[in-house]
Amino acid sequence: MIACLDRFVTDTDSRRPHDGSSLCKALELQLQGGITTDSRDIGLAGKDFGGLHSITPLALVKPTGADDVAKVVKSAVQSSNLTVAARGNGHSINGQAMADRGLVVDMTAMENHFHVVLNNGLSYVDVSGGAIWEDVLKRCVSDYGLAPRSWTDYLSLTVGGTLSNAGVSGQAFRYGPQISNVAELEVVTGTGDTLICSEMENSELFFSVLGGLGQFGIITKARVLLQPAPDMVRWIRLVYAEFESFTRDAESLVRRPEGDSFDYVEGFVFSNNDDPLTGRSTVPLDSDAAFDKAHLPETAGSVLYCLEVAVHYRNNDQGAIVDTEVHRLLTGLGYIKPLRFQVDVSYIQFLSRVKRAEEEAIANGVWDTPHPWLNLFVSKSDISDFDRVVFKSLLQNGVGGPMLVYPLLRSRWDSRMSVVLPEGEIFYLVALLRFTPPNPKPTMVDKLVEQNREIIRRCKENDIDFKLYLPHYHSRDEWKLHFGNQWSRFVERKALFDPMAILAPGQKIFTRIQ
Ligand code: FAD
C-alpha cells in the first residue's frame, strides 16, 4: 500500500488520484473527516496571505479531531517521503503552512471545542487548535464575561498558528505573548502520538511546541488563561516628532507596575506627508478629528511617531473617573499636546480594529494582493540605530501600510519556549506591513522583497542586535544563526518529537528523512 502511495508522491502531476477516497485507501486511512484532492481545495492549501509563494500539495485533509490528525501523521511516517503541514488560517507570508507534494491538514475543519474550566481560582478556556481567535473572544465575552489576556492585533488567526510563533500585541508587555498565557496543550507529535502536555506534564514537549514553528507537534487543543473582560476601551494616540522621546515614554509605560500604566501599549511610525496610506491622516481615530500639521515643531523630520495606548473600563464607570485616570497616566509624557486623538469603543470593537481595516482593504482590492511583510525583534540598545538606518533612511516614504514599533519585556517570556529573542530586558517589535496595489507587476513585488533583504543587510552591517519574528530562511546555516546558542536544543527537540522531519516542511528548517 505504502509503495503505491509513494508513486503518487514522486510523480504527483500524472498520477495524483482523482479523489480523496482512493488516496485514503492508498494511505490506509479511515478518517472521521475527509481528504480531498479537488483542485480548488488543493489550490487554496498551496497559497497564503503573503502571496509570494505557491506550491501544490498532494491532498488537503479535513480532520474532525486529534484522532484524524494522528492517523494522517502516522501514515506519513510509514511512507518513504510524505510530509504533513498543519494549516491554520494560512496567514503566513512565506509558505510556512505549505507542504510541497505533502498532506496539508486544514485545522479550521476540526470540531469546535469550547469548554471553560476553573482551576485554583483561575479561569481557562479549552479550545481546538484550529479555533479562530475572533470566535474565541466573542464566545468567552458573550457567554462568560471573560476574555484571554494577550492578543494579536488581528484575530482571524488560529490558536495553533499563533501559538506556533508567539502571538504579540499591545498587551504582551504586561502578560507576555500568547504563548505565555497557555496552561496545557493537546499535541500530536511527529510520530503520531497524541499527548497532553503542560509545565508539569511532558514539559519538554510543551515548551518545544510554544513558538516551535510547528516543528514538534500539531496543537489540537489549547487551554488558554482568561480574565474578566472589560466593557469599554478608551483608545488614544499621541504624536511625537522625536524618536528619543517616543521610546523614552514607551519604555517608561511598559516598565510601570500594573495600575500605574495603560492596559495596552503599542506604537507606529508614519510619514510626515499627506499620503493617505502612510501619512499624517492615518493617525486620527475619529473621522471628525484632523491632524493639524501646524502643531509640529520646525525640527520635525520626514518621519513621525505615534504612541498608541488604551485603558479598559466598565460601563458603570463614570466618564469623569475615566478622564481622571487617563489624565493621571498621561501626566509626564512628552508627546505634542495638541496632537492627541482618542475615541471610546467597546472592548470587542477595539480588539476587532484590524477587521475594519481588512474590510476596507478587501473593498479596495488590496487584501488579496502580495504582502511581502517583514517582522523583527530589535534590542532596545540598537533601536535608535534601527530608526536612523531604516525608518529615517530606507523607509522614509513608508511601506504602503503600517510600520509598527513598540517595546516588549523579555521577563514576560519563558526561555524554555522555542522562540529566540535579542539580548536585554527590553526589545522592540518592528512590523513592516507592506501592502501592494491590485495586480502589482512582479518586478514591484521583487523590489519590495529585495528591500526587506536590504533592511536585514543594513542591520547586520550596523551590528544591530535583532531576530526575525515569523522567521523565514533559505538555508540551514541561516537557521543556525537565527537560533544561535539555542540551535542544538532545537535540533535535539526535533530528534525527540519529529525524528523523521514530517511536520511543517514549509518552514524549510529540516529535510524529511527518507
Ligand atoms: P498558518 O499561517 O496557517 O500557520 C503558521 C505556521 O504554524 C505553519 O508552520 C503551520 O504549519 C503551523 N501551524 C498552524 N496551525 C498549527 C497547529 N495547530 N499546530 C502546530 N502548528 C501549526 N502575529 C502576531 O504575533 N501579532 C499580530 O498582531 C499579528 N497580526 C497579523 C495580522 C495579519 C493581517 C496577518 C496576516 C498576520 C498577523 N500576524 C500577527 C502573524 C500571525 O500570527 C502568523 O502568521 C500566524 O502563523 C498566522 O496564523 P495562522 O493560523 O494563519 O497560521
Count of CB atoms situated within 10 Å of the CB of 156: 17
**Under 8 Å between Cβ of 296 and 241:** yes
pLDDT at 27: 78
Q: How far apart are CA 209 and CA 201, in angstroms?
A: 13
Q: How far apart are CA 212 and CA 448, in angstroms?
A: 28
Mutate to test the pocket of ligand 1, among 136, 151, 165 (most ligand atoms within 8 A of CB): 165
Confidence of residue 101 (pLDDT cuts 50, 70, 90): very high
Q: How far apart are CA 96 and CA 61, in angstroms?
A: 17
pLDDT at 12: 45
Catalytic-role residue among 134, 153, 242, 358: 153
* pLDDT tens digits for range 258-297: 999 999 999 999 999 999 989 999 999 998 999 999 999 9
The set of long-range contacts for 281-284, using a CB threshold of 8 Å and a minimum separation of 24, is: 283/237, 283/239, 283/339, 283/341, 284/237, 284/341
Q: What is the mean pLDDT of residues 317-334?
A: 94
Q: How far apart are CA 128 and CA 139, in angstroms?
A: 14
pLDDT at 417: 98
Percentage of the chain surpassing pLDDT 90? 90
What proportions of the chain, in percent to the nearest 5, are helix, strand and coil? 35, 25, 40
Confidence of residue 26 (pLDDT cuts 50, 70, 90): confident
pLDDT at 23: 80
Mean of pLDDT over the chain: 94
295 catalytic per annotation: no
Mutate to test the pocket of ligand 1, among 92, 373, 467 (most ligand atoms within 8 A of CB): 92
pLDDT at 391: 97
Does residue 17 register a pLDDT over 90?
Answer: no
**Between 14 and 81, whose confidence is greater?**
81
For residue 91, the ligand 1 atom closest to its alpha carbon is: 52
Q: How far apart are CA 403 and CA 270, in angstroms?
A: 7
* pLDDT tens digits for range 478-513: 999 999 999 999 999 999 999 999 999 999 999 999
* pLDDT tens digits for range 55-71: 999 999 999 999 999 99
Q: How far apart are CA 112 and CA 127, in angstroms?
A: 7
For residue 87, the ligand 1 atom closest to its alpha carbon is: 3
Q: Please provide residue 359's backbone torsions phi and psi, each rounded to the nearest 5 degrees.
A: -60, -40
CA 499 to mean position of chain CA atoms = 26
Confidence of residue 15 (pLDDT cuts 50, 70, 90): very low
Count of CB atoms situated within 10 Å of the CB of 439: 8
Confidence of residue 28 (pLDDT cuts 50, 70, 90): confident
Q: How far apart are CA 185 and CA 218, in angstroms?
A: 10
- 374 forms beta bridges with 432
Q: Are strands 84-87 and 103-106 parallel, antiparallel or unpaired?
A: parallel
Q: What is the mean pLDDT of residues 91-98?
A: 98
Does residue 2 register a pLDDT over 70?
Answer: no
Q: What is the mean pLDDT of residues 437-452?
A: 94
Sheet holding 340-346, edge to edge: 340-346, 232-240, 303-313, 264-271, 403-409, 426-432, 374-379, 466-468
211 torsion bin: left (phi>0), alpha (psi -120 to 50), beta (else): left
454 torsion bin: left (phi>0), alpha (psi -120 to 50), beta (else): alpha
Q: How far apart are CA 312 and CA 443, in angstroms?
A: 45
* pLDDT tens digits for range 196-235: 999 999 999 999 999 999 999 999 999 999 999 999 999 9
Q: What is the mean pLDDT of residues 64-85?
A: 96
Does residue 192 register a pLDDT over 60?
Answer: yes
Its sign, for the CA torsion 65, 66, 67, 71, is positive
Q: Residue 223, CB half-sphere, CA atoms under 13 Å: how many?
A: 16
**Between 168 and 19, whose confidence is greater?**
168
* CB 434 less than 6 A from any atom of ligand 1: no
Q: In one letter, which amino acid is 256?
A: R
Does residue 4 register a pLDDT over 50?
Answer: no
* CB 173 less than 6 A from any atom of ligand 1: no
153 catalytic per annotation: yes
Lowest mean pLDDT among 11-15, 103-107, 318-322, 367-371: 11-15
* CB 448 less than 6 A from any atom of ligand 1: no
Q: What is the mean pLDDT of residues 297-312?
A: 97
Burial status of residue 218 (CB atoms within 10 A of its CB: 0-12, 13-18, 19 or more): buried
pLDDT at 9: 52
CA of 129 to the centre of ligand 1 (A): 12
pTM above 0.90, yes or no: yes
